Amino acid sequence: MQFQVETRNLYKEYSGKKILSDVSLGVEIGEIFALIGPNGAGKTTLLRILDFLDEPSKGTVWFQGARVNFSERNTQALRRGIGMVFQQTLLFNTSVSNNVAYPLKVRGENEREIEQRVKEALKIVQLEGFESNNALKLSGGEAQRVALAQALITDPELLLLDEPTANLDPRNLSIVEEVLSWANRERKTTIIMATHNMFQAEALADRAALIMEGRIEKIGKIQEIFTLPSKTLTKFARLENVFSGVSRLSKEGTSVIDIDEVQIEAALQRSGNVSVYVRPEDIILSSQPLISSARNRFEGRITEISDQGSILRLRVKAGKDFTVQITKRSFNEMQLNMDSTVFLTFKASAVQII
């Protein structure tokens, strides 16, 4: 199997501080590879080395079977086959279409070709009609999608993404995830993404590496990674809404999981000890009890509010601690605050087993 990109015994030190230690990994052509680890694990540095923005202190990088020489001229040529989406979205102070056109302009494509491809790229990220908008006036999610369009417009062989969905609201998050799996499926783009979201990795990636303090602790197929004890996994990723309890089958063919004083109904057929997870974006928050067919309904109060840009992440104590997210606008419309009483609703099918 030929590797799209490979690192061998990579070390990176930055002003005496070890960022990466002995990192060896190969990413196969056409796969989605996730780098999972907590903040500060070295994911960003590794991605920067793979985009040749940083040079390793020791070790080698191989791109499509050839050893990378980190001279300016060489990296510039190689970089033209790679798209990179940074965690910190930076767009140029000009229109959306000029931003998306930039990678083609620097490659000297002709105007007509550029116009056509900008249109296509914006369509892919569902931003048709945004051509003449000022890029600096976009919402965080829209800006991130423009950055994705910039990276995709050249149809790169390799796409590098640094926390592509951190701080996105559910709608933008699902658009970005859709685009990524589309690019991988239809264009056969190899994707390497850094994430601290295990469940995103599970949903998208074929293989993953767990990184901790600059070292690869485990590398393998995503299923193998997920068979690790959840305590180990929790070390690497932020796990919220993870509950462990005893599951029993109900008459309706679902499972009811007893978690201390809380019962969660799941569209699963399991009995015995289980750990389950509910994505924060799958939980509906309301100020009044919701009339719904959803099986799980809880009453609780808000114990923590954290600002994530256009959305808020709330911690709600409803027997157990739940993390939910809500747009700032709805939060204000419902006149919520700390200690407000709220209702949580989610479907049995939103409960995933770990």
Partner 1 sequence: METSFLEVLLRAFQLIFSLSPEVLSITLLSLRVSGTAVLIGALIGVPIGMVLGLVQFRGKRNLMHFIDITLRSIVNTFMGLPPVVVGLVVYLLLTASGPLGVLGLLYTPTAMIITQLIMVVPIIIGVTMSAVGSVEKAVREKALSLGATDRQAAWMVLREARMGVLTAIIVAFGAAISEVGGILITGGNIRWVTRTLTTAIVVEVELGNFALAISLGIILLSLAFAINLTLTIIQLRGIKR
261 exposure class (CB count in 10 Å sphere: 0-12, 13-18, 19+): exposed
In the complex with partner 1, which residue's Cβ is closer, 154 or 275?
Answer: 154
- How many residues touch partner 1 under the rule CB under 8 A: the total is 25
Cβ at position 152, least distance to partner 1 in Å: 11
Q: Between residues 103 and 141, which has the closer beta carbon with respect to partner 1?
A: 103
Q: Which residues pair with 352 in a beta bridge?
A: 277
Cβ atoms of 319 and 260 within 8 Å: the answer is: yes
Binding partner 1 (rule: CB under 8 A), the pick from 9, 69, 76, 341 is 76
Is residue 12 within 8 A of residue 56, CB to CB? The reply is: yes
Stretch that binds partner 1, among 9-17, 25-33, 84-92, 343-351 (CB under 8 A): 84-92
Taking the C-alpha atoms of residue 204 and residue 193, their distance in angstroms, rounded to an integer, is 10
Helices 140-152 & 170-186, crossing angle to 10 degrees?
10
Q: Does 339 bind partner 1 (CB under 8 A)?
A: no
Nearest partner of 324 among 309, 349, 303, judged by Cα:
303
Binding mask 45-74 for partner 1 (x = CB under 8 A): ------x-x------------------x--
Residues in region 209-228 near partner 1 by CB under 8 A: none
Taking residue 39's Cβ as centre, other Cβ atoms within 10 Å add up to 10
- Asked whether position 135 contacts partner 1 by CB under 8 A, the answer is no
Candidate residues 86, 130, 199, 243; the one interacting with partner 1 per rule CB under 8 A: 86
Nearer to partner 1, 79 or 270 (CB): 79
What's the DSSP call for residue 95?
Answer: B
Return d(Cα 215, Cα 42) in angstroms, integer: 8
Shortest Cβ distance from residue 241 to partner 1 (Å)? 34
Q: How much of the chain is helix, strand and coil, in % rounded to 5?
A: 30, 40, 35
Subset of residues 179 to 208 that bind partner 1, contact rule: CB under 8 A: none
Q: Which listed residue (21, 134, 250, 349) binds partner 1 by CB under 8 A?
A: 134
Residue with Cβ nearer partner 1 (155 or 321)? 155
Closer to partner 1 at the Cβ: 120 or 224?
Answer: 120
Residue among 151 and 173 whose Cβ is closer to partner 1? 151
Q: Where are the alpha helices (DSSP H) in the chain?
A: 43-50, 72-79, 96-105, 111-124, 140-152, 170-186, 198-204, 222-226, 230-236, 328-333
Q: How far is the CB of 71 from partner 1 (least distance, A)?
A: 12
CB 345 within 8 A of CB 297: yes
* Region 95-114 residues binding partner 1, contact defined as CB under 8 A: 102-103, 106-107
Distance between CA atoms of residues 315 and 321, nearest Å: 6
DSSP 280: G
Q: Which residue lies nearer to partner 1 by CB, 91 or 233?
A: 91
Q: Which of 38, 64, 74, 79 forms a contact with partner 1 (CB under 8 A)?
A: 79
| Closest C-alpha among 247, 267, 268 to residue 256 | 247
| By the rule CB under 8 A, 8 interacts with partner 1 | no
Among 136, 290, 338, 353, binds partner 1 (CB under 8 A): 136
CB 156, min distance to partner 1, A: 9
Which residue in the set 97, 144, 154, 197 belongs to the binding site for partner 1 (CB under 8 A)?
A: 154
Measured distance CA(279)–CA(325) in Å, rounded: 10
| Binding stretches for partner 1 (CB under 8 A) | 51, 53, 72, 76, 79-80, 82-84, 86, 88, 90, 92-94, 102-103, 106-107, 134, 136-137, 150-151, 154
